[in-house]
Amino acid sequence: MNQSDAGATQIRALVAGNWKMNGLKAALSQALAVDEQLAGAGDAINADVMICPPATMLMVLSELAGKSGLKIGGQDCHVNQAGAHTGDVSAEMLADAGASAVILGHSERRADHGETDKLVCEKVAAAHRAGLTAIVCVGETIGQRQAGLTLGVVARQLTGSLPDGVNAETVVIAYEPVWAIGTGLTPSVEDVAQVHGMIRERLVERFGEEGARMRILYGGSVKPSNAVELMGIANVNGALVGGASLLASDFLGIVDAYRG
Protein backbone atom coordinates (compact mmCIF):
# COMPACT_ATOMS: atom_id res chain seq x y z
CA MET A 1 0.00 0.00 0.00
CA ASN A 2 1.24 3.45 -0.82
CA GLN A 3 1.10 6.46 1.45
CA SER A 4 0.18 9.98 0.46
CA ASP A 5 2.58 12.89 0.75
CA ALA A 6 0.49 14.04 3.69
CA GLY A 7 2.29 11.50 5.84
CA ALA A 8 0.74 8.61 7.68
CA THR A 9 -2.51 8.52 5.71
CA GLN A 10 -2.74 5.01 4.29
CA ILE A 11 -4.78 4.50 1.18
CA ARG A 12 -6.21 1.17 0.08
CA ALA A 13 -5.39 0.63 -3.57
CA LEU A 14 -7.91 0.10 -6.38
CA VAL A 15 -7.24 -1.82 -9.59
CA ALA A 16 -10.05 -1.14 -12.08
CA GLY A 17 -10.39 -2.74 -15.51
CA ASN A 18 -11.98 -0.62 -18.24
CA TRP A 19 -13.26 -2.96 -20.95
CA LYS A 20 -14.28 -0.02 -23.16
CA MET A 21 -16.41 -1.14 -26.17
CA ASN A 22 -15.32 -4.75 -25.88
CA GLY A 23 -17.05 -7.85 -24.60
CA LEU A 24 -19.90 -10.08 -25.67
CA LYS A 25 -21.54 -12.67 -23.42
CA ALA A 26 -18.65 -15.08 -23.92
CA ALA A 27 -16.34 -12.58 -22.22
CA LEU A 28 -18.17 -13.10 -18.93
CA SER A 29 -15.96 -16.13 -18.38
CA GLN A 30 -12.93 -13.84 -18.06
CA ALA A 31 -14.59 -11.67 -15.42
CA LEU A 32 -15.83 -14.71 -13.50
CA ALA A 33 -12.33 -16.20 -13.61
CA VAL A 34 -11.02 -13.01 -11.99
CA ASP A 35 -13.71 -13.24 -9.32
CA GLU A 36 -12.92 -16.90 -8.60
CA GLN A 37 -9.16 -16.36 -8.41
CA LEU A 38 -9.58 -13.40 -6.09
CA ALA A 39 -11.91 -15.40 -3.86
CA GLY A 40 -9.22 -18.06 -3.58
CA ALA A 41 -6.59 -15.46 -2.73
CA GLY A 42 -8.60 -14.16 0.22
CA ASP A 43 -6.84 -11.43 2.18
CA ALA A 44 -3.57 -11.89 0.27
CA ILE A 45 -4.57 -9.12 -2.16
CA ASN A 46 -4.26 -5.72 -0.48
CA ALA A 47 -6.44 -3.86 -2.97
CA ASP A 48 -10.00 -3.43 -4.14
CA VAL A 49 -10.62 -4.84 -7.62
CA MET A 50 -13.21 -3.62 -10.12
CA ILE A 51 -14.29 -4.43 -13.67
CA CYS A 52 -16.12 -1.84 -15.78
CA PRO A 53 -17.76 -3.75 -18.66
CA PRO A 54 -20.01 -2.37 -21.40
CA ALA A 55 -23.45 -1.36 -20.17
CA THR A 56 -24.95 -4.41 -21.90
CA MET A 57 -23.11 -6.69 -19.47
CA LEU A 58 -23.48 -4.75 -16.23
CA MET A 59 -26.53 -6.41 -14.75
CA VAL A 60 -25.66 -10.00 -15.57
CA LEU A 61 -22.07 -9.56 -14.36
CA SER A 62 -23.17 -7.96 -11.11
CA GLU A 63 -25.54 -10.88 -10.53
CA LEU A 64 -22.97 -13.58 -11.32
CA ALA A 65 -19.87 -12.10 -9.69
CA GLY A 66 -19.28 -11.34 -6.04
CA LYS A 67 -17.54 -14.35 -4.50
CA SER A 68 -14.50 -12.19 -3.89
CA GLY A 69 -16.11 -8.82 -3.40
CA LEU A 70 -15.28 -7.91 -7.02
CA LYS A 71 -16.75 -4.49 -7.71
CA ILE A 72 -18.61 -3.57 -10.92
CA GLY A 73 -18.55 -0.14 -12.53
CA GLY A 74 -19.95 1.70 -15.54
CA GLN A 75 -18.03 3.59 -18.21
CA ASP A 76 -20.08 6.79 -18.49
CA CYS A 77 -23.39 8.32 -17.47
CA HIS A 78 -25.76 11.10 -18.49
CA VAL A 79 -26.17 14.13 -16.24
CA ASN A 80 -29.94 13.66 -15.98
CA GLN A 81 -31.76 11.00 -14.00
CA ALA A 82 -34.19 10.22 -16.83
CA GLY A 83 -35.69 11.76 -19.95
CA ALA A 84 -35.65 11.95 -23.72
CA HIS A 85 -31.99 11.07 -24.24
CA THR A 86 -31.97 8.17 -26.69
CA GLY A 87 -28.97 5.90 -26.29
CA ASP A 88 -27.81 7.38 -22.99
CA VAL A 89 -27.63 5.72 -19.58
CA SER A 90 -28.23 7.56 -16.31
CA ALA A 91 -26.23 7.09 -13.14
CA GLU A 92 -29.36 5.74 -11.48
CA MET A 93 -29.65 3.08 -14.19
CA LEU A 94 -26.05 2.03 -13.59
CA ALA A 95 -26.69 1.75 -9.86
CA ASP A 96 -29.88 -0.20 -10.51
CA ALA A 97 -27.90 -2.64 -12.67
CA GLY A 98 -25.45 -3.27 -9.83
CA ALA A 99 -22.66 -0.76 -10.45
CA SER A 100 -20.94 0.90 -7.50
CA ALA A 101 -18.82 3.29 -9.57
CA VAL A 102 -18.58 4.95 -12.96
CA ILE A 103 -15.64 6.15 -15.07
CA LEU A 104 -16.08 9.79 -16.11
CA GLY A 105 -14.08 12.15 -18.30
CA HIS A 106 -12.03 9.43 -19.96
CA SER A 107 -9.81 10.84 -22.70
CA GLU A 108 -11.78 8.91 -25.31
CA ARG A 109 -15.00 10.57 -24.16
CA ARG A 110 -13.32 13.97 -24.12
CA ALA A 111 -11.86 13.46 -27.62
CA ASP A 112 -14.59 11.45 -29.37
CA HIS A 113 -17.60 13.18 -27.82
CA GLY A 114 -16.23 16.65 -27.07
CA GLU A 115 -16.77 16.36 -23.33
CA THR A 116 -15.61 19.45 -21.44
CA ASP A 117 -14.45 19.76 -17.85
CA LYS A 118 -17.78 21.42 -17.06
CA LEU A 119 -19.76 18.49 -18.42
CA VAL A 120 -17.55 16.00 -16.58
CA CYS A 121 -18.15 17.98 -13.38
CA GLU A 122 -21.90 17.74 -13.93
CA LYS A 123 -21.60 14.00 -14.49
CA VAL A 124 -19.64 13.62 -11.25
CA ALA A 125 -22.52 15.33 -9.44
CA ALA A 126 -24.95 12.96 -11.16
CA ALA A 127 -22.90 9.96 -10.05
CA HIS A 128 -23.00 11.17 -6.46
CA ARG A 129 -26.75 11.74 -6.73
CA ALA A 130 -27.09 8.04 -7.55
CA GLY A 131 -24.69 6.90 -4.83
CA LEU A 132 -21.89 5.97 -7.22
CA THR A 133 -18.18 6.61 -6.82
CA ALA A 134 -16.85 8.71 -9.71
CA ILE A 135 -13.53 7.66 -11.25
CA VAL A 136 -12.50 10.96 -12.83
CA CYS A 137 -9.90 10.79 -15.60
CA VAL A 138 -7.33 13.46 -16.42
CA GLY A 139 -4.35 13.40 -18.78
CA GLU A 140 -2.41 15.16 -21.52
CA THR A 141 -1.90 14.48 -25.22
CA ILE A 142 1.52 13.89 -26.76
CA GLY A 143 1.52 17.43 -28.19
CA GLN A 144 0.80 18.92 -24.79
CA ARG A 145 3.57 16.87 -23.19
CA GLN A 146 6.10 17.83 -25.84
CA ALA A 147 5.17 21.48 -25.32
CA GLY A 148 5.81 21.18 -21.59
CA LEU A 149 2.14 21.70 -20.74
CA THR A 150 1.47 18.45 -18.86
CA LEU A 151 1.15 19.83 -15.33
CA GLY A 152 -0.96 22.80 -16.41
CA VAL A 153 -3.33 20.68 -18.49
CA VAL A 154 -3.82 18.07 -15.77
CA ALA A 155 -4.29 20.75 -13.09
CA ARG A 156 -6.92 22.52 -15.21
CA GLN A 157 -8.82 19.30 -15.85
CA LEU A 158 -8.63 18.40 -12.17
CA THR A 159 -9.99 21.75 -11.06
CA GLY A 160 -12.75 21.94 -13.63
CA SER A 161 -13.91 18.34 -13.41
CA LEU A 162 -14.52 18.15 -9.65
CA PRO A 163 -17.47 19.79 -7.89
CA ASP A 164 -17.09 21.19 -4.39
CA GLY A 165 -17.72 18.93 -1.44
CA VAL A 166 -16.41 15.65 -2.83
CA ASN A 167 -14.53 13.25 -0.57
CA ALA A 168 -12.34 10.18 -0.65
CA GLU A 169 -15.33 7.84 -0.74
CA THR A 170 -17.09 9.57 -3.63
CA VAL A 171 -14.16 10.38 -5.94
CA VAL A 172 -11.16 8.53 -7.36
CA ILE A 173 -8.75 10.30 -9.71
CA ALA A 174 -7.17 8.46 -12.65
CA TYR A 175 -4.17 9.99 -14.41
CA GLU A 176 -3.93 8.64 -17.95
CA PRO A 177 -1.41 10.22 -20.30
CA VAL A 178 -3.41 10.05 -23.53
CA TRP A 179 -0.35 9.21 -25.62
CA ALA A 180 0.36 6.11 -23.51
CA ILE A 181 -3.10 4.51 -23.76
CA GLY A 182 -2.90 1.37 -25.87
CA THR A 183 0.48 2.29 -27.37
CA GLY A 184 2.75 0.27 -25.14
CA LEU A 185 4.53 3.49 -24.18
CA THR A 186 4.73 4.65 -20.57
CA PRO A 187 6.13 7.79 -18.95
CA SER A 188 9.23 7.43 -16.83
CA VAL A 189 8.90 6.69 -13.13
CA GLU A 190 10.00 10.27 -12.48
CA ASP A 191 7.33 11.68 -14.80
CA VAL A 192 4.56 9.64 -13.17
CA ALA A 193 5.76 10.64 -9.70
CA GLN A 194 5.80 14.31 -10.68
CA VAL A 195 2.24 14.33 -12.05
CA HIS A 196 0.80 12.26 -9.20
CA GLY A 197 2.59 14.46 -6.68
CA MET A 198 1.08 17.58 -8.24
CA ILE A 199 -2.39 15.99 -8.25
CA ARG A 200 -2.01 15.13 -4.56
CA GLU A 201 -0.96 18.67 -3.74
CA ARG A 202 -3.94 20.15 -5.59
CA LEU A 203 -6.37 17.74 -3.91
CA VAL A 204 -5.04 18.56 -0.45
CA GLU A 205 -5.13 22.30 -1.17
CA ARG A 206 -8.78 22.12 -2.18
CA PHE A 207 -10.22 19.31 -0.06
CA GLY A 208 -7.87 19.10 2.93
CA GLU A 209 -7.67 15.72 4.65
CA GLU A 210 -10.15 14.26 2.18
CA GLY A 211 -7.73 15.19 -0.60
CA ALA A 212 -4.95 13.40 1.26
CA ARG A 213 -7.10 10.24 1.36
CA MET A 214 -8.32 10.21 -2.25
CA ARG A 215 -7.04 7.41 -4.45
CA ILE A 216 -5.01 8.45 -7.49
CA LEU A 217 -4.78 5.70 -10.10
CA TYR A 218 -2.28 5.47 -12.92
CA GLY A 219 -3.48 4.35 -16.35
CA GLY A 220 -1.73 4.07 -19.68
CA SER A 221 -0.28 0.75 -20.91
CA VAL A 222 -0.25 -0.87 -17.46
CA LYS A 223 0.61 -4.54 -17.84
CA PRO A 224 1.89 -7.39 -15.65
CA SER A 225 5.50 -6.67 -16.59
CA ASN A 226 5.48 -3.06 -15.35
CA ALA A 227 2.76 -3.13 -12.68
CA VAL A 228 5.04 -3.62 -9.66
CA GLU A 229 7.27 -0.69 -10.67
CA LEU A 230 4.37 1.64 -11.47
CA MET A 231 2.31 0.72 -8.40
CA GLY A 232 5.35 1.36 -6.18
CA ILE A 233 5.58 5.05 -7.13
CA ALA A 234 4.62 7.58 -4.44
CA ASN A 235 0.97 8.69 -4.69
CA VAL A 236 0.07 5.90 -7.11
CA ASN A 237 -2.79 4.16 -5.34
CA GLY A 238 -3.72 1.63 -7.98
CA ALA A 239 -4.36 1.37 -11.70
CA LEU A 240 -7.01 1.99 -14.33
CA VAL A 241 -6.31 -0.81 -16.81
CA GLY A 242 -7.49 -0.91 -20.41
CA GLY A 243 -6.68 -3.71 -22.83
CA ALA A 244 -4.83 -5.79 -20.24
CA SER A 245 -8.07 -6.17 -18.27
CA LEU A 246 -9.81 -8.14 -21.01
CA LEU A 247 -7.98 -11.38 -20.20
CA ALA A 248 -8.18 -12.70 -16.65
CA SER A 249 -4.54 -13.83 -16.67
CA ASP A 250 -3.24 -10.39 -17.67
CA PHE A 251 -5.51 -8.50 -15.29
CA LEU A 252 -4.67 -10.77 -12.37
CA GLY A 253 -1.00 -10.30 -13.19
CA ILE A 254 -1.45 -6.60 -12.51
CA VAL A 255 -3.54 -7.20 -9.39
CA ASP A 256 -0.67 -9.36 -8.13
CA ALA A 257 1.34 -6.18 -7.62
CA TYR A 258 -0.72 -5.87 -4.42
CA ARG A 259 -0.29 -9.43 -3.23
CA GLY A 260 0.90 -9.38 0.38
Looking from the CA of 21 toward its CB, the CA atoms found within 13 Å total 2
> Which one of the listed residues 78, 106, 128, 196 is annotated catalytic?
106
Q: From CA 217, how far away is CA 196, in angstroms rounded?
A: 9
Q: Are 237 and 219 in contact (CB under 8 A)?
A: no
Beta carbons of 132 and 102 less than 8 angstroms apart: yes
176 among known catalytic residues: yes
Could you give the C-alpha distances from 144 to 57, 160, 242, in angstroms and in order? 35, 18, 22
- Half-sphere CA count of 92, side-chain side, radius 13 A: 6
Other CB atoms within 10 Å distance of the CB of residue 247: 14
Our answer to whether residue 106 is catalytic in this structure is yes
73 beta partners: 101
Residue 1 and residue 231: Cα distance in Å, rounded?
Answer: 9
DSSP string, 151-187: HHHHHHHHHHH--TT--TTTEEEEE--GGGTTTS---
Q: Which of 245, 207, 230, 256 is nearest to 73 (CA)?
A: 245
Q: Which residues are catalytic?
A: 106, 176
